[in-house]
Amino acid sequence: VTTPGVEVTVSTYTSPAMFVQIRDIALSGFMFVLLLIGSGRFSTDQFILTNGVNTDTADWDKLGLLLRLSLAIPLIIGGLFGSYPQIATFAVWQPLLLIAGLVLVSGIKTREAALLVALMMVWFIFSKLSLEKSLIANLNGFKREFAFIAASIVIILRGSGEAYTPRDIQN
């Protein structure tokens, strides 16, 4: 606040905006990967659309890299800066967030890290549920975390690609 005589009683805006919005930034990465890989063989648009994305030509190494980094960065930010106001820690011990994020970035044991992330998001969702709130208010409290669970499931099922993993860098 730069106005003389104005005192802020809530320290909401003391965290960097990018850190506060990092979950939304991660969603952009998730959606870009979804756009390029398509919705899957069991989706209704495979029957309706004839000019959809050919998932066979998608380079999973690069898309897996984008997906694992998009999933990892909010965890790393939460692990390092979770004590700042408005930074998401997903109701989890901050060092655990940091470890899971760094494992995803490394490209080693990403399926296991993605499983841990999915479990952390389920934990967060259950920690946010309240019988005193309406269904819509409850869903609004953890809507982004459904996408984090979905991204984790994709990594569990497809892996996270080989781009920028120790094996890739060694070659």
Task: Encode pLDDT of 49-108 as tens digits.
Answer: 655 555 566 788 899 999 999 999 999 999 999 988 888 899 999 999 999 999 999 999
Q: Which two three-digit tokens encode residue 159? A: 């892996």
Angle at 36 between CA 31 and CA 37, to 5 degrees: 100
**Alpha carbon of 154 to those of 73, 75, 167: distances in Å?**
17, 17, 21
For helices 22-37 and 60-81, the axis angle rounded to 10 degrees is 170
pTM reported for the whole predicted model:
0.82
- To the nearest whole number, what is the mean pLDDT of the chain? 85
How big is the CA angle at 146 (ends 140 and 148), to the nearest 5 degrees?
Answer: 125
